[in-house]
Amino acid sequence: MTYNDPAETERVLAALEARVGSEGVLRLPAPSMASEDFAYVLEEVPGTLVFLGVAPDEGSTPMHSETAVFDDSILDVQAALLAGLAWERLHER
């Protein structure tokens, strides 16, 4: 089971909102039932699983599906966010 640490979740969401604005961040109204191997990492290290991507205007599409929509225009935001979070974590020590 994937468990998102509440403090880490807020940390990531705050970083996302700082980068793309609150209008660019969708907070799911209920937990997702997505299954992910990353859950094994979260058993050892507090963290959070977030979906970084671009949903089409008509709503989401399933991942790992031939109907999935990929928009590479978000890759720079993803890379900068992940690098920034890693940088912050390294400087906390």
DSSP conformational letter for 84: H
Which pLDDT does position 83 carry in this prediction? 94
Residue whose entry in the numeric block shows the structure tokens 């990492």 = 41
**Helix, strand, coil tally for the chain in percent (to 5):** 45, 0, 55
Pairwise pLDDT comparison (81 vs 74), residue with the higher score: 81
d(Cα 31, Cα 1) in Å, to the nearest integer?
12
d(Cα 37, Cα 39) in Å, to the nearest integer?
5
Query: What's the predicted TM-score (pTM) here?
Result: 0.76
For the chain, the structural domain boundaries read 6-91
Residue 77 has pLDDT above 90, yes or no: no
List pLDDT tens digits, range 15-74: 989 988 998 888 888 887 777 789 999 999 999 988 876 666 666 666 677 777 777 888
